[in-house]
Amino acid sequence: MELLSGADMIARFLKDEGVEHIYGYPGGAALHIYDALFRQDSVKHILVRHEQAATHAADGYARATGKPGVVLVTSGPGATNAVTGIATAYMDSIPMVVLCGQVMSHLIGEDAFQETDIVGVTRPVVKHSFSIKHPSEIPEVLKKAFYLAATGRPGPVLVDIPKDMTSPTERYEYVYPKKVKIRSYNPVTRGHTGQIKKAVDMMLKARRPVFYTGGGIITGRASEALTDLVQRLGFPITTTLMGIGGFPQGDRCSLGWLGMHGSYEANMAMHHADLIIAIGARFDDRVTNNTSKFCPTAKIVHVDIDPSSISKTVRADVPIVGAAGSVIDEMISLLQDREPASPDALTEWWKTIDDWRAEREGKLYEPSKPGEALKPQEVIEAVYRATRGEAFVTTDVGQHQMFAAQYYKFAKPNRFITSGGLGTMGFGFPAAMGVKLNFPQDDVVCFTGEGSFQMMMQELSTCKQFDVGVKIVNLNNQSLGMVRQWQDLNYKSRHAHSYMESLPDFAKLIEAYGFTAIKVTTFAELEPALERAFADTNELVFLDIYVDPFEHVYPMQVPLGSMRDMLLSKTERT
Amino acid sequence: MRHIISILLENEPGALSRVVGLFSQRNFNIETLNVAPTEDPSLSRLTVTTVGDDRVIEQITKHLNKLIDVVKLVDLTEGNHIERELMLVKVKALGASRDEVKRTADIFRAQIVDVTPSVYTVQITGDAGKLDAFVQAMAPIGILEVARTGVSGIARGDKLLSL
């Protein structure tokens, strides 16, 4: 029998759970835990410079690996600083465990120094939360937290730990719980076979089918199975922003991603489809546009692990509650030896889709001419070439995010890491750190803008301390590009606070931390700068790339319209 | 339409706030709420009445089921059920109206459970409609205070909400 203090139990549990990195920031209520971490060397603690960055770094790690990211913060401001990152993970169903220090239990409720009811504050943005009531329950509660975070529909789980629970003088028996059971929590795995049969029959009869898949394919590790299913059937497929990489974008069946800034052919195909097979996607408002005009001729099969996602915004004709992977496997086995009822209809459907593709071919954006400002799109394409399409890509939020999603073509899952649901500016850089620390051999690129980067740029210091060699590509348009775009379209170009006056000299800023920065203003400078930036995978390089501030992201769905109502450029609309 | 949803909930700190928080967070509506421990000390039974169309009620039950603290739930209005609420009312009982209060209480099979020279405290049980009717009947005499428990309910017959 081993007797450990609560703090030592936490350190020991993290080791036994196989956690390699935790991201955090110390403070009074967490000091016993930090002392326990100091006295061991299995779990490496990454000291960030702001707690929000700790959650984003853990989140980036979780998105790249599929395993829960772990965060440790102190009570009060430490915990409240983490809230944005917890909400980001919640909206995108990312597994995360957040350990929060709390004031001593006898002080709770007395407005003690650095006290916040963090369980209350985070209640709407966590999958579940726990408060430790006795040190002896620490191993079991932590196991439950990891179990809840990673299973079913994943999400962040918060554990509130009053300081006296980790006191070094009180020791209790420690046993690593290999398994836990929660009587009210039994996430489904297999879907209902009758429903899956029904769906397969509809798929074989469909004349204009489209797969519409989301982040559930990535978190459910179902991308191989999905690729097999789609290629067998030869159906077109579009993914959500969160689902990018769930199906190889270079494949002929891929229509790219859909929704507000999705591809023309994807949105057109959705609108004209007679069957939509949605898997691990949630019919988000950035996808459907006006739900009353959404896909008027389509029957909808909706596969999701979370029953509350089904028929939430758009009514499903065939709801299937189950894990993406097992449902797809069952679909594949039901399809053995069966052929589509009308292959000619599918050929005709592809002809229509290819016509849509051809309509926009070569018209997606106008490349810069010599002497003109660079186009953000061509920068993304150049980075794609420089990294052979194999980098981990994180983004911040705004125009650069959409351009990255449109012009960097992903062949694999877990490679495109972006805040889709919450749209958190400041996410990209710390998320890139979390990825890079765990994939030191890979190129990790953060596409960002001056607005987003300045929200988390203090993390340069973390990168210096831990030698984190991410590549930061700042698409510098001297404005908050997406805000400005909306102001151009909806507010007669009144640019209320969307400009960025008094930008720092980024090169000097980066150099102050001892890193390399390269300023790029012309197309001729771009390729050599990228070559220099990617010469050493483990060197942090900041590319400050000046791009055309007047560029807009297109296509852009027209508000309150249907899927096919899009602006295609500043002068064209459907 | 009005629905009565009964929930078996882990008897844990914070569990109730998760249920109540869910309603405000998702813009669902709570008409009444009633909660107390059951014969199993690890479980509370919570009954909530809410109003919404089928789509909204489906979302409410799905989201409630998703809460880790919710062990089991039933929408009682989907089948035959018994619905009860208890109300305590303080009514002015002076002069001629003193007899009137007693007579009306008898008609509703209510009981006078506390008496002062000027006030009767009346206890009444029934479904929400009966309690509303009693309040209406007493209003002209002069209601001083009302305390209602909110609806509790149980399915008729062999159907059980238990583990």
Measured between CB atoms, which of A128, A306, A315 is closest to B68?
A128
Nearest CA of chain B to the CA of A216: how many Å?
A: 17
Residue among A2, A40, A44, A113 flagged as catalytic: A113
Distances (CA, A) of B117 to B101, B120, B140: 13, 8, 19
Nearest CA distance, B68 vs chain A (angstrom): 6
Burial of A559 (0-12, 13-18, 19+ CB in 10 A): exposed
- How far lies A300's CA from each of A291, A352, A368, in Å? 13, 21, 42
Distance of CA A489 to the CA centre of its chain: 28
Among B66, B25, B76, B87, smallest CA distance to B46 is for B76
Tokens of B93: 């009982």
Closest residue in B to A152 (Cα–Cα): B66
- Mean residue pLDDT of chain B comes to 96
CB A34 within 8 A of CB A46: no
Other Cβ atoms less than 10 A from the Cβ of A327: the count is 30
Give burial (CB, 10 Å; 0-12/13-18/19+) of A345: middle
pLDDT in tens, A167-225: 999 999 999 999 999 999 999 889 999 999 999 999 999 999 999 999 999 999 999 99
Q: Check whether B118 has a pLDDT greater than 80.
A: yes
pLDDT of residue A374: 97
Phi, psi of A406 (to 5 degrees): -80, -35
Task: Say if CB B58 and CB A313 are below 8 A apart.
Answer: no
Residue A500: its pLDDT value, please? Answer: 82
> B25 and A148: CB-CB below 8 Å?
no
pLDDT of residue A292: 94
Asked if A167 reaches chain B (Cβ–Cβ under 8 Å), the answer is no
Q: Residue B91 in 3-state DSSP?
A: strand
Mutation to test the A interface, candidates B53, B68, B70, B163, most A Cβ within 10 Å: B68
Nearest-by-Cβ selection for B14 from A119, A148, A182:
A119
| Catalytic residue status for A114 | yes
Select from B62, B71, B72 the Cβ nearest to the Cβ of A308. B62
For residue B33, the model assigns a pLDDT of 97
Which residues in A lie closer than 8 A to residue B65 (C-beta atoms)? 307-308
Mean pLDDT in residue range B121-132:
97
Q: What is the pTM of this model?
A: 0.96
Amino acid in the structure at residue A319 = P
Contact A184 B55 (CB under 8 A): no
Q: Exactly one of A268, A270, A457, A482 is catalytic; name it.
A: A482
Burial of B59 (0-12, 13-18, 19+ CB in 10 A): middle
A183 vs B: CB within 8 A: yes
Chain B residues whose CB is inside 8 A of the A182 CB are 68
- Disruptive mutation site among A126, A182, A184, A188 for chain B (greatest number of B CBs within 10 Å): A184
A279 touches chain B (CB under 8 A): no
Query: Are the beta carbons of B58 and A311 separated by less than 8 Å?
Result: yes
**A182, A184, A307 ranked by CB distance to B62: nearest:** A307
Is A1 known to be catalytic? no
pLDDT digits (tens, 9 = 90+) for B60-102: 999 999 999 999 999 999 999 999 999 999 999 999 899 999 9
- Catalytic site includes residue A113: yes
pLDDT at B123 over 80: yes
Closest C-alpha among B18, B105, B25 to residue B66: B18
CB-CB under 8 Å, B71 with A184? yes
Nearest to A184 among B58, B63, B68 (CB): B68
Among chain B residues, CA nearest to A183: B71
Q: Which helix (H) or strand (E) holds A123?
A: none
Determine whether the interchain pair B163/A128 forms a contact, defined as Cβ–Cβ distance below 8 Å.
no
Catalytic residue (one of A114, A195, A231, A458): A114
Residue from A504, A430, A502, A431 nearest A461 by CA = A430
Cross-chain residue pair A308–B69, CB shorter than 8 Å: no
Confidence (pLDDT) at A189: 86
Min distance A126 CA to chain B CA atoms (Å)? 10
Which residues of chain A are under the pLDDT cut of 50? none
Residue A130 Cα, gap to closest chain B Cα (Å): 9
